[in-house]
Amino acid sequence: MRQSLKTRGFVLKKKPLLNRDIILSLFSEAFGKINVFAHGARTITSRRLSHIDTGNFITAEIDKREGRYYLKETKLISGFSQIKSNKSKVNYLSVFLFILNKILPEGQREERAYIILKNFLIEISKKSENLNVINKYLNKLIIALGYSNEEMGDERITSFIEDVIGEKLPYI
């Protein structure tokens, strides 16, 4: 049965497939992390292409068929241009989204993690680059998701997260 959904969310990851298709990891307030198939999104005439960049905040119209999600339409709410114009802020954003994509359960609503991501993006948009900001929000994230009960220092949080996701983090 076909079901049409409309949601707002953050693009965590964009993975190109063969032909002109893309799979998105979308973190939605209503549905949690979902993988969405965007058929034909890489065509030069696709209006959705610029909306679905990693880190963008979008409104998405999605069809759910046979347990899978298919992207129909998108509308860009924020591209966070003040972050994307600064190389270190882009690096912090990429690392945070990489971690979030790895540790979020799929299809499970995580309202606290959604708010933490939103606040992180707002804070790094306004402040100059600062490693303490990413570590503060990583601590909040792992506590909110139940991976830890206590805050950790800079080096400890990095190694803890690497243990949880089972791989090395990209450069912070």
User: Domains along the chain?
Assistant: 3-78 (2.40.50.140), 81-165 (no CATH)
> Is residue 47 pLDDT above 60, yes or no?
no
User: Looking at the predicted structure, is the pLDDT value of residue 76 above 90?
Assistant: no
pTM for the whole structure: 0.88
More confident site: 21 or 139: 139
Residue 44 scores a pLDDT above 50: no
The C-alpha atoms of residue 161 and residue 168 are separated, in whole angstroms, by: 9
pLDDT of residue 55: 87
Q: Which residue has the tokens 């049965």?
A: 1
Q: Is the pLDDT of residue 99 over 80?
A: yes
Q: Give CA–CA dist 82/169, Å, rounded.
A: 24
Nearest to residue 40, comparing CAs of 9, 71, 7, 8?
71
Question: Which whole number is the average pLDDT over 156-160?
Answer: 92
Say whether 5 sits in a helix, a strand or coil.
Answer: strand
- pLDDT tens digits, 136-147: 999 999 999 999
> What does the alpha-carbon distance between residue 102 and residue 84 come to, in Å, rounded to a whole number?
22
What mean pLDDT, rounded, does the chain reach? 87
Give the DSSP letter string of 27-67. EETTTEEEEEEETTTTSTT-SSTTTTSTT-EEEEEEEEETT
Question: For the residues 32-58, what does the mean pLDDT come to?
Answer: 75
